[in-house]
Structure 1
Amino acid sequence: MVYILLIASVLIGYIIAVSIKTKEPAFLPILLAFSGSFLLSTTLFELLPEVFTTPSKKIGLFIMGGILLQIILDFFSKGAEHGHVHIHSEKKAFPWLLFISLSIHALLEGHPITGHDAMLWGVIVHKIPIAIILSLFFKRAAFSSTTTILFLFLFALMTPLGSWITSETSSLSRYQQEINAIVIGIFLHVSTTILFESSKNHSFNFSKMTAVIIAAVIAYFI
């Protein structure tokens, strides 16, 4: 059921993108702000206290490592993880760098959702607007439908695959705290970037602020 929900979130994003007639839907920045707040809140409420059950500077190093890793991934994905895709391709070939960087991100975010229902919903809410943005990018860039669907299908499999690897590989359990700390760093970077970049001139309007507050409240009570 978990895997179906994760794949369905990408499918929902694709269906929404296909049904959109305008280039820049007005609801997308609000949806991004909601998803960023929800992901940040679930990370702070669910994962962060768990990795710091035993205070350790080493955990802080792994969180910082996750932030740095996401910065590197952003260089290749051009910011697709937090709602911006700036890739120009004349040949319309399969965007391998974008796919590989997003796949690494998606594989890692599959690790902490095992046994964490709140994080599962945090990732699902995060994936929907990202799938919308990726689909709109492919449509605007005139990529073929085959390339678009193949890309999104493979991308949709990555997080379930990451979760499956975690649940089936017992040797990873001894490094659970460290991996979760890396993922926390990734989530902190992505979610805060979404919140700061979801508005022009880095300013929040009332609708986005309301979305951020509602997302945080929902995440707290999950």
Structure 2
Amino acid sequence: MIYFLPMLAVVAGFIISLFIKPSSSSRFQLLLSFSGAFLLSITVFELLPEVYESGKSNVGLFIMLGLLLQIFLEFLSKGVEHGHMHHGETGRFPLLLLISLSLHSLLEGFPLNSSDDLLHGVVIHKIPVAAILSTFLIHSKIGKTKTILFLIIFGVMTPLGSWLHESFAVLDKYAIWIYSLVIGIFLHVSTTILFEASRNHSFNASKLGVIILGILLAYFM
């Protein structure tokens, strides 16, 4: 399931993009808010205690490095990871976007072997991201073949990260620090989603409700 579910999430996101406009759908925005709350909660409840209980030094430093890494990756991706839509150059393959999302996905796959709940958090987060990405690629006019190639590469990177961790024992020496990087990435992505869920600080009961639901579901899983 570690290898199958992340790829299924990309397929689901692509299908969603064919039927709705993510940038203007209120239901889609609720899904995005829920995914952000769930991912943040799983990170705090599951992954954060694990790295600090390890007793390894510099955990906090690597968390902050992960946060800075995600800021840099979003400079390349223009914020697709947390729901931003942007217009690409017509007909031009978005290589920098692919590199950014691939590195993000590769790293997020690394700790999935340690927690089923974290796997569910990543999958739930990946669905709206894939829908936004698919919409962007379709409208960028790079062609069906390049769009499918892009989504395939994006889809396999998270399972690849899990496979690398599972297959190469030498990586266990660095697992806690990689986990810490991933925590920083997740903290930045999820909190950005939540901060942007209520633009102009306006109160929205529906979004507040799904955010609370995401937190409670993560806590009781």
TM-score, structure 1 as length reference: 0.94
Tell me: CA distance 1:199–1:146, structure 2 relative to 1, closer, same or farther (3 Å).
farther
Alpha-carbon shift at residue 203 of structure 1 (Å):
3.5
Determine if the alignment matches structure 1 residue 42 to structure 2 residue 42: yes
1:136 Cα deviation (Å)?
1.5
Q: Say whether residues 1:216 and 2:215 are aligned partners.
A: yes
Structure-2 residue corresponding to 1:102: 101
Secondary structure at the aligned position of 1:31 is classed as helix
CA–CA distance in 1 between the matches of 2:144 and 2:87? 18
In the TM superposition, residue 88 of structure 1 has moved relative to its aligned partner by 2.9
Equivalences for residues 21-32 of structure 1 within 5 A: 24-32=24-32
Alpha-carbon contact 2:76-2:96 (below 8 Å) kept? yes
What is the root-mean-square deviation in Å for CA atoms of aligned residues?
A: 1.6
Measure the CA separation in 2 of the matches of 1:5 and 1:186. 20
Match of 1:179 in 2: 178
Q: Identity rate of aligned residues, in percent? A: 53
2:21, 2:100 → 1: CA distance? Answer: 29
Question: How many pairs does the alignment contain?
Answer: 221
Q: For structure 2, which runs of at least 5 residues remain unmatched after alignment?
A: none
Unaligned runs of 5+ in 1: none
Per-residue Cα deviation, 1:60-89 (whole angstroms, up to 9, x for no partner): 000000000000001000111111132430
Greater shift after overlay, 37-46 or 130-139?
130-139
Give 2:64's aligned residue: 64
Partner of residue 196, structure 2: 197
In the TM superposition, what is the alpha-carbon distance from 1:204 to its structure 2 partner?
4.2
Shift of 1:221: 1.4
**1:78, 1:87 within 8 Å by CA — same for their partners in 2?**
no
**Which amino acid is the alignment partner of residue 221 of structure 1?**
F
Change (3 A) 1:88 1:195: same
Deviation at 1:190, TM superposition (A): 0.4
Matched, 1:17 2:22: no
Report if aligned partners of 1:29, 1:199 keep a CA contact under 8 Å in 2.
Answer: no
Say if 1:21 and 1:85 are closer, same or farther in 2 by CA, change over 3 A.
closer
Question: SS of the counterpart of 1:11?
Answer: helix
Q: Is the counterpart of residue 206 in structure 1 residue 198 in structure 2?
A: no
Match of 2:26, SS? coil
**Residues 166, 172 of structure 1: 8 Å contact kept:** yes
- CA offset at residue 146 of structure 1? 2.0
Q: Within 2, Cα distance between the matches of 1:160 and 1:52?
A: 25
2:33·2:211 contact (CA, 8 Å) conserved in 1? yes
Within 1, Cα distance between the matches of 2:206 and 2:183?
27
Distance in 1 (CA, whole Å) between partners of 2:89 and 2:45 is 40
Tell me how far apart the structure 1 counterparts of residues 51 and 163 of structure 2 sit (CA, whole Å): 21
**1:125-153 deviation per Cα after TM superposition (whole angstroms, max 9, x unaligned):** 00000011111122333342222221111
Instruction: Specify the code of the residue in structure 2 equivalent to 1:183.
Output: V
Task: Give distance in 1, aligned partners of 2:164 and 2:174.
Answer: 13
* Contact kept in structure 1, 2:2 and 2:112, CA below 8 Å: no
1:61-210 equivalent positions in 2, closer than 5 A: 61-90=61-90, 92-210=91-209
Separation of aligned partners in 1, 2:24 and 2:51: 39
Cα deviation, residue 28, structure 1: 1.5
